[in-house]
């Protein structure tokens, strides 16, 4: 186990190191953010750079993959997770600056299909026939064992009683964006992604929304890592600003805090 950890640590460090431009970016901030945050964080990072002159280097992947990399020593300054579990995991392993934690954003879980799919609107209620809807096609979402969107999806479907019949039709992918792409390409009949992802992809349409009570609340906590550089706090503050709030809401996220600036 130690051997595996060190090999993965070395690999993660190499990968993370390659992701960070060399030398002169000492004041660049490294952000590890959940895949569903890509579009909005790209805009926020540009705004931040314009405002402060500091560059932000971001790495987007499933929250699970990112936290695992941080655990192996990847040099992230800030972690933005798509669920509380992975932030908890990091806190327990003393990888997170607990005092800096903020539950920043909310999101909704939706059911999507390809733009020209015959499926129109689906009432997502108790025992709805997800398996039947999929026909002989597949339903994609993040891996239900560790990717946040997959965990929310499974929780919701189990609560609604629609999980077991549909389980065999699922295809699990590494992160929510991969699921989005597969539905956009028509490879998969249906997908479970965040409302913000569906909004960002013109080739898919939302055919149903999951009632908020069917799954644990979708909360995106953000925090500085234990080894964050001092200047990173400036970025965290910017995430809580009015300017950032406007951007988040444009993309469809709910902002859970009151802006501090």
Partner 1 sequence: MLDLSPDEWTAIQLSLRIAFVATLAALPPGMAIAWLLARKSFWGKALLDGLVHLPLVLPPVVTGYLLLISFGRQGAIGAFLADTLGIVFSFRWTGAALACGVMGFPLLVRAIRLSIEAVDRRLEDAAATLGADKGWVFLTVTLPLALPGVIAGMVLCFAKALGEFGATITFVSNIPGETQTISAAIYTLTQVPGGDAAALRLVVVAIAISLVALVLSEWFARRAGTRLHGG
- Residues lying near partner 1 in the complex (CB under 8 A) are found at 1, 4-5, 8, 62, 64-65, 68, 89, 138, 140, 143, 145-147, 170-174, 178, 182, 185-188
Give CA–CA dist 95/88, Å, rounded: 10
Minimum Å gap between C-beta 95 and partner 1 is 13
Residue 252: count other Cβ atoms within 10 Å of its Cβ: 16
Kindly tell me which of 42 and 85 has the beta carbon lying closer to partner 1.
85
Minimum Å distance from CB 236 to partner 1? 25
Find the shortest distance in angstroms from Cβ 125 to partner 1.
28
Least separation in angstroms between residue 80's CB and partner 1 is 18
Rg (C-alpha) for the chain, rounded Å, is 19
Q: How far apart are CA 45 and CA 123, in angstroms?
A: 38
Cβ closest to partner 1, residue 178 vs residue 256: 178
Alpha carbon distance 49, 52 (integer Å) = 5
**DSSP secondary structure code for residue 149 in this structure:** H
CB closer to partner 1, 131 vs 171: 171
In angstroms, give the least distance from the CB of 114 to partner 1. Answer: 9
Minimum CB distance to partner 1 smaller for 75 or for 148: 148
Q: Would you say 223 and 98 are in contact if contact means Cβ atoms under 8 Å apart? A: yes
Helices (H), the chain: 2-19, 38-52, 63-71, 84-92, 130-134, 148-160, 163-166, 176-184, 195-200, 232-239, 242-251
Complex with partner 1: residue 51 or 93, whichever CB lies closer: 93
């Amino acid at each position: 186990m130690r051997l595996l950890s060190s090999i993965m640590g070395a690999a993660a460090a190499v990968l993370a190191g390659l992701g960070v431009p060399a030398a002169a970016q000492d004041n660049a901030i490294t952000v590890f953010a959940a895949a569903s945050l890509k579009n909005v964080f790209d805009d926020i990072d540009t705004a931040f750079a314009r405002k402060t002159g500091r560059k932000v280097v971001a790495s987007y992947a499933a929250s699970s993959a990112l936290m695992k990399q941080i655990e192996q020593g990847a040099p992230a300054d800030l972690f933005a997770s798509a669920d509380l579990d992975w932030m908890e995991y990091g806190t327990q392993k003393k990888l997170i600056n607990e005092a800096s934690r903020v539950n920043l954003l909310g999101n909704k879980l939706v059911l999507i299909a390809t733009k020209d799919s015959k499926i129109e609107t689906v009432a997502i209620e108790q025992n709805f026939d997800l398996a039947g809807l999929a026909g002989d096609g597949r339903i994609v979402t993040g891996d239900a064992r560790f990717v946040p969107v997959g965990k929310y999806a499974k929780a919701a479907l189990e609560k609604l009683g629609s999980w077991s019949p549909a389980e065999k039709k699922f295809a699990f992918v590494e992160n929510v964006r991969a699921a989005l792409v597969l539905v956009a390409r028509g490879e998969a009949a249906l997908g479970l992604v965040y409302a913000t992802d569906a909004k960002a992809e013109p080739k898919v349409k939302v055919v149903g929304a999951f009632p908020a009570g069917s799954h644990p609340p979708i909360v995106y906590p953000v925090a500085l890592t234990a080894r964050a550089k001092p200047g990173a706090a400036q970025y965290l503050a910017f995430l809580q600003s009015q300017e950032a709030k406007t951007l988040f809401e444009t993309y469809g996220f709910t902002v859970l805090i009151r802006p501090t600036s």
